[in-house]
Amino acid sequence: MKKLNLLLILLFAGFSNIFAQSVTLEKGKEFEIEAHTVTNTADNQNDYKYTFWFKAGDRNGVNTIFDCKLVKVIYAEKFTKYSFANSILNTDTVRGFRLNTTTSLLPLALLHQPLKVTIGPHGEFLSVTGFDEAIQDAITRWVLKDDIANQLKDNSKYFPKDVIGSLFLPLPQQRIAYKSEWSSPNTRYKVTAINGALLYITTTGIKVPDSQGEDVSGNIVFNEVTGLTEQLQNSSPSKIEIAIDGKKQLLPVFYRRQTVRYGAEKHLPDTAWINMVVKTHTAFGKAFKSGTEMDSVKVQRYLKAHDDAFANDEYYAVIKLRLLQGSGDYIKYSHQLIKTPTRFIKDEESHLFNKFNSILDSSAQSAYEVARYMYKLPGFNGLIQQSYAQSFLTFDIDDMLKDDGFRKNMQEKNMSDEDARKMIAEENKKRLAGNSNARQLLELLHNDKDPLMQQKINALYLWEKAKSADDAGVLNKTASAFMNMDDAYMKQGNGGRYALLIYKLLINAKKEAAAKALLVKTIQNLERYTADTLNTNRFADQNILAYACYLQYTRARLTDSVKALQYLSKAAQYSPHNSKEKAYASFYDRVFLHSKEGYRDEFIERLFNNGDEQQALAIFADHINAEPVSLDEMQKIYQQHIPGKSFADFFKAKVLDSWQTAPVFTLKGLDGKDHALADFKNKWLVLDFWGTWCAPCRGEMPDINTFNQEIKDGKHNGITFMSIACRDNETNVKAYFEASKFNLPAAMADANIEKQYGISSYPSKVIISPDGKMLPLKFGDDWRAIVQRFNEVVPAN
């Protein structure tokens, strides 16, 4: 493919370069050349349309010097799989352009910059002046990061010759006439017709030996008086099927069109807006940083200077929010967020989320308007179920009285159970009274006619109405509604959570038959949802299902011990086995349901008590893998029930052997050396996947650096550590380490390691055993304590 690209570049350079043997353009003559090039691959389409303005200047002997400017760019890069990365630019109507990639920086840097182009007597491109200065000026003007500046310079290397030079046709030494033929290194030309000053030329690509290139062919209309290519079109013979904007099309792998028009049009690019867009793009620039951190003083200074110019600009409004948030000025961010029209942030999910939460206290109607922009976005369910729904939570009196911490508080205050009940009831009344906006919003959301909004709100609405009603008939109707609820309403509205909350209300109301029926129906639903691999919420549903089975266990344990153990077995079976199955959303379900993360520990105890040692040990190992922080507790239970056997032998045989083999890797270190997995053999290894762009990653780096220094000091024999920087570049990582005075073994991620190790969030830790088996940890696990305990149980060699 690289050879094909090289052939195409050389071919078009052959189409381009200059004037005829008798250039007669008078000094001061102006013209514009529009060059349109499209390349198609299976992954993307690149569509460039450059318009260059030229003005004939002085001759330097036989050479001609032109004033030149890039006056217009229409550019589209579209991806078949990753439409979010699409980039579309029209410099005549630039506002609304979204800067997604560094590809756009080169034409923006050159736009309307004065250049001088020198063309030889036979169309050969000789030189361009002002080009390097234009690139450097852009780097300075935009305050680009060093790596981005280097990318811009690299991208610009071939532009003068391969783009500007290719606008002119290379001519032979002899005068051309009808049927004249000549060749450049990769193109054969033949004059097939003449009409006055216009020569009609066919072109055929010459296949380069040992290349995979194609014979790109086409036609040229050449004006031998002016020496300009009036028209050009050519394309590759082969075509490729490519899906652009959801439509499959059969297109040439490459095609190019070029036209000339005499005179000059007015092009007035919005350079102030362009400079604002690039300079404020924090992934590209460093204008607002001091060291590696955002500087709020620099941010405020910039905003003060530009607020008036871009007061009503949607893009600037979003950028302003990002800068305030990124610099840690959360008070100003919050005030600005409320003032920003919601339509401006319609595509900014995090800002919509924050605005919803900020504005709800003051206006239910305004919060509803934000919700209307959000309800089709992926994050809306989280906003409703994890944040907003907590507005309707009250303290469960019986659960509070069972809580050890609360009981201790009662004793310190010499409070009786009756006094505690009164206090909790009073607090619940205050919470309900203070949530009038939340209840008004719930009515607005429930009355929305959109079916999807109905599906996402209905279960929450029914629960809130049932728990607030004094009428027993409302509870009965609500239970019936959940018994007959459509799957779409259950799935979209987190129906499992609210069905179990209604179950508890039925139990408190002494409606045993209705409660039992609802629990059975809910379990049946959740089992179907959990088995559905296309259900994006199936792991959250699985966690609720584990609790539902546990509720069945609590119902049966006093009357039928056999059935009770079966129910507890199911609760253990559906308890999460790894960090993926723990599902972030399940934390909030546990807040509402007062449930636990898992039930294997209780099942293990029951099995040991019943004498079923083998089954207990199998689940035992499973539980340690799912909850490595529970290792101490599990070791005590093991030694309590099996005092004569080695826990270390059990750990090696049942726990470590169940881990997956760690994928091999060789990565380039910041020290310039290669670091391979094999280098850490016979050691406990902690891999840290992180990036300088990740705030939580940076937040834990001081502790990581301390731990690594302790390893160097010999405090953790048998343990080693490797930091792997992901989606980052070596320059940034080195600068961050140097500024922070960190001294860590670190390597740069390659194209495969994140996928091989299943890394999807940052930071992520993976522990690798001395024999090369791996255990991924969930964010928040105390990885230091875990790896130290593993090393104590099974010491490294």
Q: At 728, which helix (H) or strand (E)?
A: none
Do 577 and 685 fall within a single domain?
A: no
**Running DSSP on this structure, what letter comes out for residue 384?**
I
Do 583 and 711 fall within a single domain?
A: no
Mean pLDDT of the chain: 87
- Under a CB-based contact definition with an 8 Å cutoff, are residues 119 and 66 in contact? yes
Residue 269: asked if its preceding bond is cis (omega within 30°), the reply is: no
Tokens of 501: 């909350």
Residue 80 — pLDDT band, cuts 50, 70, 90? low
Contacts of residue 740, Cβ cutoff 8 Å, sequence gap at least 6: 292, 701, 702, 705
For residue 706, the domain's CATH number is: 3.40.30.10
Residue 169 lies in a domain: yes
Model confidence at 400: pLDDT above 80: no
Residue 663: its pLDDT value, please? 95
Residue 726: its pLDDT value, please? 92
Beta bridge partners of 737: none
The torsion angles phi and psi of 766, rounded to 5 degrees, stand at: -130, 130
Residue 376: its pLDDT value, please? 92
Domain containing 138 equals: 2-259
Half-sphere exposure for 602 (CA within 13 Å, toward CB)? 21
Residue 173: its pLDDT value, please? 80
Which of 259, 285, 316 lies at the terminal end of a domain, its last residue?
Answer: 259
Other Cβ atoms less than 10 A from the Cβ of 598: the count is: 25
- Average pLDDT, integer, range 743-758: 92
Do 723 and 588 fall within a single domain?
A: no
Residue 338 lies in a domain: no
Model confidence at 483: pLDDT above 50: yes
Quick: pLDDT tens for 360-396: 988 999 999 999 999 998 889 999 998 899 889 877 7
- Average pLDDT, integer, range 541-553: 95
The torsion angles phi and psi of 17, rounded to 5 degrees, stand at: -65, -75
Residue 115: its pLDDT value, please? 97
Model confidence at 77: pLDDT above 90: no
Nearest Cα to 75, choosing from 36, 33, 131?
36
Residue 184: its pLDDT value, please? 82
Residue 213 — pLDDT band, cuts 50, 70, 90? low
Nearest Cα to 486, choosing from 450, 525, 430, 540?
525
- Average pLDDT, integer, range 357-362: 88
Do 28 and 152 fall within a single domain?
A: yes
Total tally of structural domains belonging to the chain? 3
Which of 244, 259, 274 lies at the terminal end of a domain, its last residue?
Answer: 259
Lowest-confidence pick of 324-338, 388-402, 490-504, 521-535: 388-402
Distance CA 299, CA 100 (A): 22
Percent of the chain at pLDDT exceeding 90: 50
Do 98 and 185 fall within a single domain?
A: yes
One-letter amino acid of 461: Y
Distance CA 751, CA 266 (A): 46
Model confidence at 482: pLDDT above 90: yes
**Running DSSP on this structure, what letter comes out for residue 329?**
-
Q: At 117, which helix (H) or strand (E)?
A: strand 115-119
CA 237 distance to own-chain centroid: 38
Distance CA 1, CA 72 (A): 30
Residue 638 lies in a domain: no
Distance CA 17, CA 7 (A): 16
Do 17 and 98 fall within a single domain?
A: yes
Residue 207: its pLDDT value, please? 60
Nearest Cα to 665, choosing from 574, 756, 726?
756
Nearest Cα to 284, choosing from 147, 141, 154?
147
Do 98 and 217 fall within a single domain?
A: yes
Lowest-confidence pick of 21-30, 648-657, 732-741, 780-789: 21-30
- Under a CB-based contact definition with an 8 Å cutoff, are residues 529 and 496 in contact? yes
- Average pLDDT, integer, range 176-195: 89
Residue 69: its pLDDT value, please? 96
Residue with tokens 């209309």: 221
CA distances from 237 to 43, 44, 100 (A): 19, 19, 32
Measure the N-to-C terminal CA separation of the chain; round to a whole number of Å.
Answer: 49
Model confidence at 584: pLDDT above 90: no
Residue 109 lies in a domain: yes
- Average pLDDT, integer, range 602-609: 82
Q: Which tops the pLDDT comparison, 210 or 706? A: 706
Residue 270 lies in a domain: no
Which of 238, 259, 280 lies at the terminal end of a domain, its last residue?
Answer: 259
- Average pLDDT, integer, range 305-310: 94
Residue 23: its pLDDT value, please? 52
Tokens of 797: 């060699």
Distance CA 589, CA 393 (A): 12
Lowest-confidence pick of 273-282, 315-324, 405-414, 765-774: 405-414
Residue with tokens 């086995």: 577
Nearest Cα to 666, choosing from 657, 678, 675, 658?
675
- Average pLDDT, integer, range 299-318: 93
- Average pLDDT, integer, range 178-190: 88
Do 176 and 51 fall within a single domain?
A: yes
Indicate if the alpha-carbon torsion angle 295, 296, 299, 305 is positive or negative. Answer: negative
Residue 113 — pLDDT band, cuts 50, 70, 90? very high
- Average pLDDT, integer, range 604-622: 80
One-letter amino acid of 235: S
